[in-house]
Amino acid sequence: MAPFIHQPKSPHPNGKKNRRRFLALEVLGCCLCGGSIDKWEAALDGFKSKKIQDVLKISYNALDHSVQEVFLDIACFFKGKDTKYVKDACGLNASYSIEVLIEKALISVEHSSSDNYIWMHDLLEEMGKDIVQQESPTEAGGRSRLWFHEDVKHVLTNNTGTNKITGIMLNFPKQDDKIFLDVGKSFSKMKNLKILINHNVCLSGDASSIANNLRVLDWRGFPFQFFPPNFRPNGLVVLSLPDSRIKQLGEGLK
């Protein structure tokens, strides 16, 4: 598949369309590697008639459930993040899942002068987010992951969160980042929340409703001086509280 991985940028007007096809062929090739001729022929026949996203989804559907979950976490939250951060954030067997995703050409590890980070093609990111949106097309609170600021704002202000939500990222446009939300009400129904990332939204109220299932608590400007005594996240592996008011972590985080 090397010709597809390292293809030159085409000056042709259809260059963008061709690069999409190269990506689909690369992902499909990695998925079908070692398969029978009949399997290849069937897949390539489908390639002619399907949209690029449908072709890419063939590889996703072939993954184990645990690997699919890591793929969706990366698509929704962790594209461009440090590799170690992602491995910690994605839970047990994340290293294995990441290796599988690399092997299937669904993600890559890129290198900079200071670190290594996880990268994903925009089309694959779009596919992952679409899979999550289709879990509950009309009500964002019924999805497993929330990242789009309008969906997050709707769920938190209307208290429509459910125990289906496992991850949420608050990253609002500047004009909306000063809205004030009550943590106690907004997160009370998210009993299975494992990833909570807050980049810029002001939250106040009672923090006792923050789920004990958290693996990731990444909250800029954490407004509380103490964690509530009932906050005992035994599975917490990523704790980042820059610019916070925290004075003491408490017994549950020692």
Residue pLDDT, tens place only, 77-98: 999 999 999 999 998 889 999 9
- pTM flag (> 0.85): no
Contact between residue 146 and residue 170 where contact means Cβ atoms under 8 Å apart: no
Q: For residues 169 and 74, what is the distance between their CA atoms, to the nearest angstrom? A: 12
How far, in Å, CA of 197 to CA of 214, rounded?
11
Fold of 2-125: Arc Repressor Mutant, subunit A (1.10.10)
Per-residue pLDDT at 115? 86
- As a whole-number percent, the residues of the chain with pLDDT over 90 amount to 48
Tokens of 148: 């789009």
Instruction: Supply the angle between the helices 122-133 and 15-32 in degrees, to the nearest 10.
Output: 70
Helix crossing, 15-32 with 37-49: angle to 10°? 150
In one-letter notation, the amino acid at residue 103 is E
Question: Alpha-carbon distance 90 to 235, whole Å?
Answer: 11
Domain regions of the chain by residue span: 2-125, 135-253
Say what the pLDDT of residue 218 is.
96
CA angle 138, 178, 233 (to 5 degrees): 70
Ranges 13-17, 76-80, 173-177, most confident = 76-80
Please tell me the predicted confidence (pLDDT) of residue 242.
93
Lowest mean pLDDT of 50-59, 139-148, 168-177, 240-249, name the range. Answer: 50-59
Share of the chain above pLDDT 70, in %: 76
Residue range 162-189: average pLDDT?
A: 84
- Is residue 49's pLDDT more than 70? no
pLDDT of residue 13: 45
Mean pLDDT of 136-156: 96
